[in-house]
């Protein structure tokens, strides 16, 4: 049975504190009341931004897998693909490196956000 919440806390805050609390609640995808309850009771409040970063990393990883699969087919001389030039392989390798760098940037950005909070 879920207990109905009947009591309210009144907590004086500055305008800056109010804005920061509202921003943090929004970043987690929670209402201000739920955010404050979770934080006050010692629960971990995952940031919605972190979830967005994970989704971004998953998309980049998928792109990298597709490019790697294409390169593998080229290198095994799959009859469905015809290598027309060494430049195509080089372009594919550049695409892989670019994707790896994008993934690394996203990971570092996520790590920096975690250390700054």
Q: What is the residue whose two structure tokens read 């207990």?
A: 3
Question: Which tops the pLDDT comparison, 78 or 105?
Answer: 105
Residue 23: CA count within 13 A, CB half-sphere: 7
pTM above 0.85, yes or no: no
Tell me if 52 sits within 8 A of 26, measured CB to CB. Answer: no
Tell me if 47 sits within 8 A of 28, measured CB to CB. Answer: yes
Instruction: Please state, in angstroms and rounded to a whole number, the distance separating the CA atoms of residues 41 and 78.
Output: 59
User: pLDDT of 41-75, one tens digit each?
Assistant: 998 777 766 667 777 888 888 888 887 777 777 77
Instruction: Please state, in angstroms and rounded to a whole number, the distance separating the CA atoms of residues 42 and 22.
Output: 18
User: pLDDT of 24-42, one tens digit each?
Assistant: 898 888 899 999 999 999 9
Give residue 18's pLDDT band: very low, low, confident or very high (50, 70, 90).
very high
């Amino acid at each position: 049975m879920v207990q109905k919440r009947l009591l309210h806390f009144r907590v004086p805050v500055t305008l800056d504190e109010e804005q920061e609390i509202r921003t943090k609640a929004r970043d987690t995808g929670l209402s201000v009341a739920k955010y404050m309850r979770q934080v006050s009771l010692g629960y971990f409040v995952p940031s919605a931004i972190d979830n967005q970063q994970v989704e971004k990393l998953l998309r980049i990883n998928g792109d990298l897998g597709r490019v790697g699969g294409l390169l593998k087919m080229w290198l095994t001389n799959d009859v469905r693909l015809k290598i027309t030039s060494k430049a195509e392989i080089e372009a594919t390798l550049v695409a892989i490196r670019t994707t790896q760098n994008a993934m690394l940037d996203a990971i570092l950005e996520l790590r920096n956000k975690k250390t700054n909070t």
